[in-house]
């Protein structure tokens, strides 16, 4: 684990900045518009160790804590949000295995995930359900020393270019409450495991796909945890970190909107002066900057609580809700400030505007975050 203020953290963040300047910023606009998977960037990410960022050093990762990691995610997302998707859900999967998997599973999978040889994701959502995960219908059952998995998952990031997934299944579809019949099972690409890429408004370049698991066979030790029936809790525990990460993406996108707008408003002139001198533009810049600072603080607070090992679903929910709405609002304001150029493919504003709404949907919609926050408020303040 690395503290945010240490020399180690500064060196890591500096190397991320260099990677973004060298490998990401020069090609982001072109690759995004072509919806092309950024192979060269992925190669550089492997060299930098990003695929093992939060994986323990015992398994070959960097072992970074959430505070440092969320700063990496914010920096990456300010350059091109899609890149953060390539390692984020991969690391949520790794976190679930590291926390709940058997020693055999950890030793077999985690070192290969840390190098990026295995690139993973989390397969929860199905055509019939996303928020209501207890409604999943993908089934898994024991057959000798194996599990057979059968079902369809959709909107799964890293499923097409990656080669391994943590799949949320029903191992007992009859038990009530339904979560007691749910398990998390690791599936590597094999016969019967097929994927197809979906077309998206934004978050392009990174693959999000449908996954058909047609009676695939995996070893029984791929079950995460010592017993069946813990899958929903395991993945929800991982989603605390996932939500801090999505909040950090919000900080990144909101910051990029602010930085581009600050620069543009000082060079674009109307009525004989830079638009930054007009009070209507100043009000926008002030609100955008205040949102960025508030979002950063909420993310920092949630990440610190996570690093202390505290329950932080409310803190992560607040950070996710505020920072992602900040990204949505700042992207709209950036477009207004840029006028027609904001609408042009020759600037990045239209990309921020297309990328930001995903943040309000993924890792639990912002409606769901409000429900989580309110429930925790009541639970923590009984009368």
Ligand X SMILES: Cc1cc2nc3c(=O)[nH]c(=O)nc-3n(C[C@H](O)[C@H](O)[C@H](O)COP(=O)(O)OP(=O)(O)OC[C@H]3O[C@@H](n4cnc5c(N)ncnc54)[C@H](O)[C@@H]3O)c2cc1C
Q: Which residues are catalytic?
A: 363
Stretch that binds ligand X, among 39-47, 282-290, 336-344, 367-375 (CB under 6 A): 367-375
Among 150, 233, 304, 365, indicate the residue that binds ligand X (CB under 6 A): 365
Size of the site for ligand X (CB under 6 A): 23
Q: Does 362 bind ligand X (CB under 6 A)?
A: yes
Contact with ligand X (CB under 6 A): which of 40, 117, 367, 377?
367
Quick one: which segment of 12-20, 182-190, 239-247, 366-374 binds ligand X (CB under 6 A)? 366-374
Rg of the chain on CA atoms, in Å: 21
User: Binding to ligand X by residue 203, rule CB under 6 A?
Assistant: yes
Cβ nearer to ligand X, comparing 285 with 361 = 361
Beta bridge partners of 217: 148
Residues 237-248, buried b or exposed e (16+ Cβ, 10 A)? Answer: bbbbbbbbbbbb
Q: Segment near ligand X (CB under 6 A), from 125-133, 170-178, 245-253, 267-275? A: 125-133
The DSSP secondary structure of 330-383, one letter per residue, reads HHHHHHHHHGGGGGSTTSSHHHHHHHHHHHHHTTS-HHHHHHHHHHHHHHHS--
Site string for ligand X, 41-80 (x = CB under 6 A): ----------------------------------------
Identity of the residue, 243 or 296, whose beta carbon is nearer to ligand X in the bound complex: 243
Between 281 and 358, CB nearer to ligand X: 358
Question: Contacting ligand X (CB under 6 A), which of 121, 162, 317, 342?
Answer: 121
**356 counts as binding ligand X under rule CB under 6 A:** no
58's CB contacts (< 8 A; 6+ apart) are none
Which one among 125, 222, 324, 369 touches ligand X, defined by CB under 6 A?
125
Establish if 361 lies at the interface with ligand X (CB under 6 A).
yes
Residues 205-224 that bind ligand X (CB under 6 A): 208
Choosing from 72, 74, 358, 373, the residue that interacts with ligand X (CB under 6 A) is 358
CB-nearer residue toward ligand X: 66 or 156? 156
In the complex with ligand X, the residue whose CB is nearer, 328 or 358, is 358
Q: In the complex, what is the shortest distance from the CB of residue 172 to ligand X, in angstroms, rounded to a whole number?
A: 21
Q: How far is CA 290 from CA 71, 252, 312, 358, in A?
A: 18, 14, 24, 22
Q: What is the DSSP letter of 311?
A: -
DSSP class of residue 20 equals I
Least separation in angstroms between residue 382's CB and ligand X is 23
Closest approach, Cβ 132 to ligand X, in A, equals 6
Interface with ligand X in residues 224-263 (CB under 6 A): none
Alpha helices (H) in the chain, listed in sequence order: 7-19, 28-34, 39-48, 66-100, 103-115, 231-267, 279-307, 313-338, 349-361, 366-380
Binder of ligand X out of 49, 101, 116, 130 (CB under 6 A): 130
Least distance in angstroms from the C-beta of 296 to ligand X: 24
Tokens of 128: 């019939």
196 binds ligand X (CB under 6 A): no
Nearest 10 degrees: Cα torsion 269, 272, 277, 283: -70
Q: Is 89 in the site for ligand X (CB under 6 A)?
A: yes
Interactions with ligand X, residue window 133-172 (CB under 6 A)? 155-157
Neighbours of 27 (CB within 10 A): 15
Q: What is the smallest separation between the CB atom of 163 and ligand X, expressed in angstroms?
A: 15
8 A C-beta contact, residue 133 and residue 161: no
**Could you tell me if 30 and 199 are in contact, meaning their C-beta atoms sit under 8 angstroms apart?**
no
Question: Contacts for 295-300 with beta carbons within 8 Å, 24 or more apart?
Answer: 295/247, 295/250, 295/251, 295/254, 295/319, 295/322, 295/323, 295/326, 296/74, 296/251, 298/247, 298/322, 298/323, 299/70, 299/74, 299/244, 299/247, 299/248, 299/251, 299/323, 300/67, 300/70
Binding positions for ligand X, rule: CB under 6 A = 89, 121-125, 129-132, 155-157, 200, 203, 208, 358, 361-362, 365, 367-368, 371
């Amino acid at each position: 684990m690395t503290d945010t203020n240490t020399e180690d953290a500064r060196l890591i963040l500096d190397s991320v900045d260099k990677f973004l300047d060298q490998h990401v910023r020069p090609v982001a606009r072109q690759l995004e518009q072509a919806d092309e998977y950024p192979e060269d960037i992925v190669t550089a990410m492997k060299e930098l160790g990003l695929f093992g960022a939060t994986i323990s050093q015992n398994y070959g990762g960097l072992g970074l804590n959430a505070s440092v990691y969320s700063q990496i995610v914010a920096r990456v997302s300010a350059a091109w949000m899609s890149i953060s998707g390539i390692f984020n859900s991969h690391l949520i999967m790794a976190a679930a295995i590291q926390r709940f998997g058997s020693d055999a599973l950890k030793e077999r999978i985690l070192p290969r995930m840390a190098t990026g040889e295995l690139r993973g994701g989390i397969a929860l959502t199905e055509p019939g359900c996303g928020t209501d995960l207890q409604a999943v219908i993908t089934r898994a059952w024991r057959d000798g020393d194996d599990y057979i998995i059968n079902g369809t998952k959709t909107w799964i990031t890293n499923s097409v270019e990656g080669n391994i997934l943590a799949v949320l299944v029903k191992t007992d579809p009859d038990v009530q409450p339904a979560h007691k019949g749910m398990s998390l099972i690791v599936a590597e690409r094999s016969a019967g495991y097929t994927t197809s890429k979906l077309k998206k408004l934004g978050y392009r370049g990174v693959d999000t796909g449908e996954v058909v698991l047609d009676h695939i066979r995996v070893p029984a030790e791929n079950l995460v945890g010592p017993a069946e029936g813990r899958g929903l809790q395991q993945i929800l525990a991982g989603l605390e970190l996932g939500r801090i990460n999505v909040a950090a993406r919000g900080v990144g996108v909101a910051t990029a909107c602010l930085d581009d707008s600050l620069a543009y408003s000082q060079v674009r002139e109307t009525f004989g002066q830079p638009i930054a001198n007009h009070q209507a533009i100043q009000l926008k810049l002030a609100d955008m900057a205040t949102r960025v600072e508030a979002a950063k603080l909420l993310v920092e607070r949630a990440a610190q609580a996570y690093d202390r090992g505290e329950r932080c679903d409310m803190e992560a929910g607040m950070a996710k809700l505020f920072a992602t709405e900040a990204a949505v609002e700042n992207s709209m304001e950036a477009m207004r400030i840029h006028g027609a150029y904001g609408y042009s493919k020759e600037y990045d504003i239209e990309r921020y505007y297309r990328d930001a709404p995903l943040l309000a949907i993924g890792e639990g919609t912002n409606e769901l975050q409000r429900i989580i926050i309110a429930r925790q408020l009541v639970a923590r303040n009984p009368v």
